Amino acid sequence: MKKTLLTAALVAGFASAAHAESSVTLYGVVDGGVGYSQTKTTLDGNFYDRNGDYVGSFSGSAKTSKTGVTSGNQSGNRWGLKGVEDLGNGTSAIFQLESGFDLGNGRSGQGGRLFGRKAILGLTGESWGTLTLGRQYNVGDDFLASIDPFGTGFGQAGATNVLGASWSGRYDSSIKYMTPNFSGFQAALMWSGSNSKDDVEYTVSNRLGATVDSDELKVKTRNNLISLGLAYNNGPIQAGLVWDHQKAKTTVNGNSASSTVNAWNLGFAYDFDVVKLHLGLGQQKDGLIRDSDGSSGAYNDFAEDYGILDFGNSVGKGYRQTHWLVGLSAPVGENGKVLFSYTGAHGKNLFADANGFAWEGRRVSGDFDFVGEGKLRSNVFSLGYTHNLSKRTNIYAVASYGTYKTTADGSVIANVEGRRGSWSREVGSADATYKAKATQINVGIRHRF
């Protein structure tokens, strides 16, 4: 009897120790509410001949509004598993698998990926830092996202809408290292990319063995991003500086096409107890930093999706953008908080071009291209309130209003194909202005488990 009791006690003790060394946690966020959104757009342009005389104009307008149940307003809906195993000597193995979904219809998010929000495996140690690999967030999400009063959430109100993916983005096939926290200072480095090479050869021979056709195709594709950041978070001060370098290159039989984008972003916040100040500033050059899902921020996507005159290269090589954030947050009682932010951006490209004139897919007659100067402008004002009902549940209300403007001014190139071949020449000039006004209002509840 004593041996039985002793054995039971030992088994219970070992089970308890094993449980302490290794653990798996189920967690998630459920966020939904009711919202209203409206977008008004207008397009106006003028044509001139080679002498500068007025030829004609085009114009258009559109208005879209929507009211109903909204999903993932403050935080994207998700469920996930995360675990840790103590390996000894202060080092642990870690993993995290996180899946996103739409509360309104129950479908998986992130293009139907099982763990589209996050899928990482790594090691962490108190003395040397954390190393992870897989699909994960960039350095900006670690050092800049929390400086945004809206935490890059709440749709149009989030900083990524204007400031871009450098503030928060997901990257496939990435490796990230973060140092320990040294009296508030911390650094991080991430690499994400894919490099492939394909060699294809074929030969066709006739029955006599003579070669009648052959070809060789050599394709190299590289798409890499390097992100480096430094942060300080101690007491009332929070600051983060992140630099991103993204390069894509494709070589086909020795002929190469490439693009290189550089961006830097600086964020700063100071808590005065009665109010907290939030500031952000950054630039992007020769294009836009994109995450692995192709996003560069809703404001930038607006310029491409609605684009003026199919402005394909307005945000390509030669493009330079400056963006900023000014925000305030203040506690209201013990459980409430008021949020405010103003985000803006100015972009310009002296070498923009468009492959054909179009207004939301409706082509203007004739085969014309546009070459000239493109400018982008945006201003977004957001006001919100959150109130904690408990440690895990809160309610919120947010209203956001944004104005977006794209302008173009340059030469019109006519493309002609005839019996004697094809040719292009300048036939005149054009200017155009595309404007959008977007309003979003959301009221909802968020529960974390």
**Residues near 305 by beta carbon (within 8 Å), at least 6 away in sequence:** none
Among the listed residues 307, 423, 305, 426, the one whose alpha carbon sits nearest the alpha carbon of residue 357: 307
Q: What is the pLDDT of residue 215?
A: 84
> Per-domain residue ranges for the chain?
24-448
- Answer yes or no: is pLDDT of 11 > 50: no
Q: Which residue has the tokens 């088994």?
A: 11
Q: What is the pLDDT of residue 354?
A: 61
- Answer yes or no: is pLDDT of 249 > 70: yes
Q: What does pLDDT average to over the chain?
A: 87
The lowest-confidence range among 7-16, 79-88, 289-298 is 7-16
Q: Which residue has the tokens 């630099």?
A: 243
Q: What percent of the chain has pLDDT over 90?
A: 63
Residue 354 and residue 434 in contact, taking contact as beta carbons nearer than 8 Å: no
The long-range contacts involving 130-133, CB below 8 angstroms and separated by at least 24 positions, are 130/94, 130/177, 130/178, 131/175, 131/176, 131/177, 132/94, 132/175, 132/176, 133/174, 133/175, 133/176
Residue 273 and residue 259 in contact, taking contact as beta carbons nearer than 8 Å: no
CA atoms of 320 and 311, how far apart (whole Å): 15
- Answer yes or no: is pLDDT of 234 > 90: yes
Q: What is the pLDDT of residue 420?
A: 66
pLDDT of 182-225, one tens digit each? 999 999 999 999 888 888 888 888 888 888 888 888 989 999 99
The CATH class, in words, for 24-448 is: mainly beta
Give the distance from CA 1 to its chain's centroid: 65
Give the residue-averaged pLDDT of 110-119: 95
